[in-house]
A and B are shown apart, each in its own frame.
Chain A
């Protein structure tokens, strides 16, 4: 399968889904932190490998609102979406996530398996920051509030320096973590899929460490921060373009339970 064919197929699929849903918003808008739909063309094996795509409309909602998931697969014998379970090969479903969710679709067929992701961001009304006198030693806060306040940090190509434009996210994250001392955080280091796997694992480690250092310098105790590098092994977005690569070059924060 040539690269051109892949691109044409991608374009067709994307166009079809766009028409079907009527509108696509926020796609590739990286500064909104919204992930894009993903599409993984399958290997040209003897048994045709499955293809899958999943989109969400809209990609960002306020808490309490609904979003329509729309997915298409080919050559798949079983299709599952994490959190929803087994689903038809093609379909739509309305969901009402309470916090930002990564909908992960796995399509398995005779020719192998493939995956697709879409991330739905849920805007949580910014709660009035609790006065410091009310800090609870056990308050983990909500998952949504955590992601609202502790946002992923993105990196430049082949770099593990925290960019100046991340400074405000770092200070916001640090103040949230300071006000919620029960929270422990895992910082995942990620790279785009260019370059070599082993080097990217080291680079991801340095990205996660750079994010950790930034938080420590902003007053968060190092003992609350754990670092894991995923290198290019856990791609968030699998398209070959800069907006997608940028989504993958990040340090991602999650609650360490």
Chain B
């Protein structure tokens, strides 16, 4: 019991010392006020679909110490929303020759099911479509041979972009019923680049959220073939 009191006093004195002392942390300019908030969720790998707003709970572990309050925290940039994906790793080399190596797709391009010439972007059929909670995401690869041969890869591209799409970023009123099309390249390591809006939706927030969804992806995994593909990502906004 006595020890409890003593130790309790110690804890209390440690707290007092901390709040009065200005000398903890050698670099005062870099010590911001400490705050920690318990949240029901923080964006963890592959589950980063939470928005910044609406996840903070009211419980805070303790008052922040009264030290070094001067430095204002810069407002978080939208791009700092977590994208906890692993960095892509280099292509693994196969230990053994594959028993039945995939055929090179070039010699036998699949017959287009529609009578398109293949060079115009007019009547492209989406190669991967995902129904999401607030809309429909579809992805096409401009190289149709690739798209047919490696449909699974196109699906993964669609899935990863959709996972990184934060539904709440687009303003529902202006985005309702609109579609935004983003075009980007994927290099042989799977890294996206050259992200641009191909067809603006008329809702700047929708275009921006779709662009950011692509930008948040570190990589899609190495291309199964070729050095580069160009991808079209279309998001049609129709909240249910």
Contacts and interface: CB of A to CB of B under 8 A. Distances in A.
Nearest to A156: B6
A159 interface: yes
A159 B1 CA distance: 17
A246 interface: yes
Interface of A is mostly: loop
B1, B3, B4, B6: most-surrounded residue (chain A CB, <10 A): B3
Question: Chain B contact residues (Cβ within 8 angstroms of A): what range?
Answer: under 10
A158 B10 contact: yes
A244 to B, nearest CB: 11
B7 interface: yes
Contacts of B10: 156-159
B1, B4, B10: most-surrounded residue (chain A CB, <10 A): B10
A139 interface: no
A110 interface: no
Question: Chain A contact residues (Cβ within 8 angstroms of B): what range?
Answer: under 10
Contacts of A158: 7, 10-11
Interface in A5-39: none
Nearest to A246: B3
Nearest to B9: A156
Contacts of A245: 3
17 contacts: A156-B3, A156-B6, A156-B7, A156-B10, A157-B3, A157-B6, A157-B7, A157-B10, A158-B7, A158-B10, A158-B11, A159-B10, A242-B1, A242-B3, A242-B4, A245-B3, A246-B3
Contacts of B1: 242
B18 to A, nearest CB: 14
A246 B3 CA distance: 9
Contacts of B7: 156-158
Interface string B6-27: 1100110000000000000000
A86 B10 CA distance: 46
Contacts of A157: 3, 6-7, 10
Contacts of A159: 10
A29 to B, nearest CB: 14
Interface string A40-55: 0000000000000000
Interface in A66-125: none
A248 to B, nearest CB: 12
A245 B7 CA distance: 12
